[in-house]
A and B are shown apart, each in its own frame.
Chain A
Amino acid sequence: MESLGVLLLHPMNAYLEQELDRRCRLHRFWEAPPGAPRDEFLRAHAGSIRAVVGNASYGADAALIDALPALEIVASFSVGIDRVDLAKCRERGIRVTNTPDVLTDDVADLAVGLAIAVLRRIPQADRYVRAGQWKAKGDYALTTRLSGKRVAILGLGRIGLAVAKRAEAFGCSISYHSRSEKPFPNYKFYANVVDLAANCDALIVACSLNAETYHIVNRDVINALGPEGVLINIGRGAHVDEPELVSALVEKRLGGAGVDVYENEPFAPEQLFGLDNVVLVPHVGSDTEETCRAMADLVLANLVAHASNKQIVTPVI
């Protein structure tokens, strides 16, 4: 696919970038800052760019799609494609691919890891020891057990199911909310998210982001989760009304939160930085060597397939 003009929207993976550079005609979008340099870049190259590679944070929006008349395929280095204007792509007949399955385990692992971290205060304990504050044996505060708790999952897709499987190994009971009830009789379905939140100890956000799920975790849901409840977000920042989340945590109306995604990455709410009942990580859900490699290979496989007129591996549209 040496003649395939590819626009990489942002640095995301060194191996992917190297391979794109080696095998295609690679353009790095971030090298053309917005304004005159970007206009000049687009004038020069737009006609030859047939593929865009984005990720969870950088996608092909309407403006970019309009600026690329030769665009045929958008390959996202992510499973979530809320940053891609799907309607526009459909209109133009542009293919869109993502990276499902290869990252399911990592994201589910992190969700449960965050739940343990928040309930058992592991990062907090590590900070305590690291700061040299452990002066006396028997110096501890009681934390909260994960095993046997009621775990609620928002979205029972690939990731949601993987979370459920892990939580079950801890003897947790599983409930969920989804667009429609799924054939899992052991998991209790709730048609209403507030009811789901009111009847669980930990609520894990694992659905995709779209118009219906924007701020699906709002003040009512957070209040229903309550001062003993914890929220774990491994979906998208926009699933949660972030200012509401912050005030609920600061005012102790919510017991705790494990957060991997934020409304305005890379900015996490600073009001949370001093709290002991939150665990904040920088969008690392699929950030392992093994998985990123697999994701990159999948992006490349989709581009190769498209460039050689073969069947696309993981199409969204």
Chain B
Amino acid sequence: MASPAASGEAEAPVLPALLLFRRRLDAAFHAALRRRYRLLDFFASGEPLPAFLAGAAASPDPPRAAVVVGGGAVRVDAAFLDAIPSLGFVFSTGAGVDHIDLHECARRGVAVANSGTVYSTDVADHAVGMLIDVLRRVSAAERFVRSGLWPVQGDYPLGNKLGGKRVGIIGLGNIGSLIAKRLQAFGCVIYYNSRRPRDSVPYKYFLNVHDLASESDVLVVACALNKDTRHIVNKDVLEALGKDGIIINIGRGANVDEMELVRALKEGRIAGAGLDVFENEPKVPAEFFSMDNVVMTHHVAVFTSESRSDLRDTTIGNLEAFFSGKPLLTPVLPW
């Protein structure tokens, strides 16, 4: 909104203020935001949250929008919303919005949007890559080659075929569905468990994860973390999966009882695991380090340059929609 200068000279338009609660913002993302908004960067300010919000609220052009990262220290709750009454829109850069009190926002007419499906494809690709790695021993065979053992020890031990494997997906949301579509092309048979069965999918539904595990060769954890899904893969489920079973976790570390998983792998009660997430990151059970049937990545399933630029586009797209009174691209509603 341009404000006329007292001297009558043309002035650069005043950019709308934007609260920013995100630590790692790459140069392109930062530049894209700075071109359009006057950034009030909390982590750069070094101030305690109440002082920061009070300062923003008291400024001549108080911010109407905020970009907040999930899983961090900042909760968008009643106290936060009280402190910055000018706020009309909150954008979360993750899919999760458990750091945002959706009912309080709705009550005050504060719209909320999230990253939508920008990460889903990359997480699905990563899950498939991990599964192929575990079954076909890609990382382990790589270590074998790189340590010069091939000429010395001869052929590497055989892996297992993907085709015909029964893959049980826990959580058939965006990510689970993309995983299913990919694995079908490899000849896998898809089963799933979800809060409710999905009418339009051709995959067999299981009422609970135990039953899913008993009829699956592979279990893929692709659900959100909430009070119902904490340790959804527990000792009982691992036992049902059985000694030839593989578990792939691209959800949250706490979806799996990690200590039980370690025990099951040590005792050969399941055949292998591909894990992108752990209960106590960045701590990883040291027992895994000597296991050739485990593949580990450091919570990187979302991190491609493409998803980063998609996130930038979705963030800006939602902000622009809000500021121009248009419908949000990826709104989150409080049900």
Q: Enumerate chain A interface residues (CB-CB to B < 8 A).
A: 11-12, 105-106, 109-110, 112-114, 116-117, 120, 122-123, 125-130, 132, 134-148, 165-166, 168-171, 265-268, 270, 273, 279-284, 287-292
Q: Which of A109, A114, A122, A288 contacts B295 (CB 8 A)?
A: A122
Q: Which of A142, A166, A291 contacts B186 (CB 8 A)?
A: A166
A109-B163, A113-B129 given; A287·B300 CB < 8 A: no
Q: Which of A120, A139, A145 contacts B282 (CB 8 A)?
A: A139
> 21 A-B Cβ contacts within 8 A?
A105-B187, A113-B132, A122-B297, A126-B133, A129-B297, A130-B288, A140-B299, A145-B122, A145-B306, A166-B182, A168-B185, A169-B182, A169-B185, A273-B145, A279-B138, A280-B142, A280-B145, A282-B144, A282-B150, A288-B136, A288-B159
Q: For residue A12, which residues in chain B have a CB less than 8 angstroms away from its CB?
A: 155
Q: Which of B121, B163, B298 contacts A140 (CB 8 A)?
A: B298
Quick check: A284 and B281 within 8 Å, CB to CB?
A: no
Quick check: B159 and A287 within 8 Å, CB to CB?
A: yes
7 extra interface residue pairs, beta carbon distance < 8 Å, beyond A130-B289, A142-B303, A147-B121: A106-B161, A117-B139, A268-B145, A284-B137, A284-B159, A287-B155, A288-B136
A140-B298, A141-B303, A267-B151 given; A166·B129 CB < 8 A: no
Quick check: B142 and A287 within 8 Å, CB to CB?
A: no
Quick check: A123 and B133 within 8 Å, CB to CB?
A: yes
B265: min CB distance to chain A, Å: 14
Residue of A nearest to B180 (CB): A169
A82: min CB distance to chain B, Å: 19
Q: For residue A105, which residues in chain B have a CB less than 8 angstroms away from its CB?
A: 161-163, 186-187
A164: min CB distance to chain B, Å: 10
Total interface residues on B, CB under 8 Å, equals 59
Q: Does B130 contact A (CB under 8 A)?
A: yes
Quick check: A116 and B128 within 8 Å, CB to CB?
A: yes
Residue of B nearest to A129 (CB): B296
Q: Does B58 contact A (CB under 8 A)?
A: no
Instruction: Return the CB mask of B285-309 against A: 1 if under 8 Å, else 0.
Output: 0101100000111111001111110
Quick check: A288 and B161 within 8 Å, CB to CB?
A: yes
Q: For residue A289, which residues in chain B have a CB less than 8 angstroms away from its CB?
A: 158-161
Quick check: A129 and B298 within 8 Å, CB to CB?
A: yes
Q: Does B125 contact A (CB under 8 A)?
A: yes
Main secondary structure of the interface of B (DSSP, over half): helix
Quick check: A281 and B138 within 8 Å, CB to CB?
A: yes
How long is the Cα–Cα vector from A291 to B162 in the complex, in angstroms?
11
Within B49-97, the residues touching A (CB, 8 Å) are none
A139-B282, A169-B182 given; A288·B158 CB < 8 A: yes
Q: For residue A126, which residues in chain B have a CB less than 8 angstroms away from its CB?
A: 133, 139, 295-297
Residue of A nearest to B283 (CB): A134
A129: min CB distance to chain B, Å: 4
Quick check: A282 and B155 within 8 Å, CB to CB?
A: yes
B120: min CB distance to chain A, Å: 10
A313: min CB distance to chain B, Å: 21
Q: Does B221 contact A (CB under 8 A)?
A: no
Residue from B121, B145, B284 whose CB has the most chain A CB atoms within 10 Å: B145
How long is the Cα–Cα vector from A113 to B162 in the complex, in angstroms?
11
Quick check: B141 and A282 within 8 Å, CB to CB?
A: yes
How long is the Cα–Cα vector from A279 to B303 in the complex, in angstroms?
19
How long is the Cα–Cα vector from A12 to B154 in the complex, in angstroms?
10
A85: min CB distance to chain B, Å: 25
Quick check: A120 and B141 within 8 Å, CB to CB?
A: no
A256: min CB distance to chain B, Å: 13
Residue of A nearest to B184 (CB): A169
Q: For residue B130, which residues in chain A have a CB less than 8 angstroms away from its CB?
A: 122
How long is the Cα–Cα vector from A142 to B128 in the complex, in angstroms?
18
A120-B126, A144-B305, A169-B184 given; A290·B161 CB < 8 A: yes
